[in-house]
Amino acid sequence: MKTVTLPEGEIIAALGQGTWYVGDDPAMREREIEALNHGIDLGMTVIDTAEMYGSGRSETRVGEAIAGRRDEVFLVSKVLPGNASRKGTIAACEASLKRLGTDRIDLYLLHWRGGVPLAETVAAFEALVKEGKIRHWGVSNFDVNDMEELFSVPGGAKVAANQVLYNLTRRGIEWDLADWCASRGIPVMAYSPVEQARLLRHSGLRELAAGLGITAAQLALAWVLRRRDTMAIPKASSSSHVADNAAAAEIILSEDTLQALDRTFAPPRKATPLEML
């Protein structure tokens, strides 16, 4: 399994598991739990969730899946911006811990910018670190100007990761944000790396993948993982889907393939606002 290194030196899997919509359908419970556990078995030990996903149902399902395996998992969750005051962040974290059935979250993120001053949210994160309820904190959907503002507040430079939308059709971060983070040792965590499966229907991607003897999903994920400072957290709905994703971590793309992907999915030619889903 490829890895990335957090600013404090901890090494974690570069390919993890997303859980957006996981927990929404009670009929999918056993299948989702099986898929998450299969991912852990294959080294995809980073599991990403959020209090927003299913209004906590995703966290509950993740908690069920990792019961008895907590120490094998690097657990990521997020606080909504509306809850990101000092007291609100601490209360939200405690609620997430209860749903997850654990005593700590490995990486706790601010889901996106809101009206609460960043200094207040950072102070809450640091208090949670001191209490042992979270091990690292980070942000999500932060552009360069947001990151620079974050670095200007007390303790803001302790940010451990920035989770953003990044895939072959959403390449705007390559203009400035990706390098800004890399130069400071802050990993980028790519969500929706296959554009919620829409990329898998792209004829050009499918043709390139077929020529390489791999799936379109594997090609899209291997492309994200080509950057040593970038992670991917695809969601999988079955164990077979998980296994297909996991194989992407072993694929090294040739320069010819990368150039072919650039011709099919053009890199950015100017600065663009950060995209979100």
Whether 108 is catalytic: no
Kindly write down the DSSP assignment for every residue of 115-128, as one continuous string: SS-HHHHHHHHHHH
Q: Per the structure block, which two tokens stand in for 176?
A: 């400035």
Element containing residue 230 per DSSP (H, E) = strand 230-232
Other C-beta atoms within 10 Å of 80: how many?
16
Residue 56: CB partners within 8 Å, gap ≥ 6?
A: 95, 96, 99
Q: What single-letter amino acid sits at 246?
A: A
Catalytic-role residue among 53, 108, 166, 191: 53
Q: In degrees rounded to 5, what are phi and psi of residue 78?
A: -140, 150
Contact indicator for 179, 173 with CB cutoff of 8 Å: no
* Catalytic machinery residues: 53
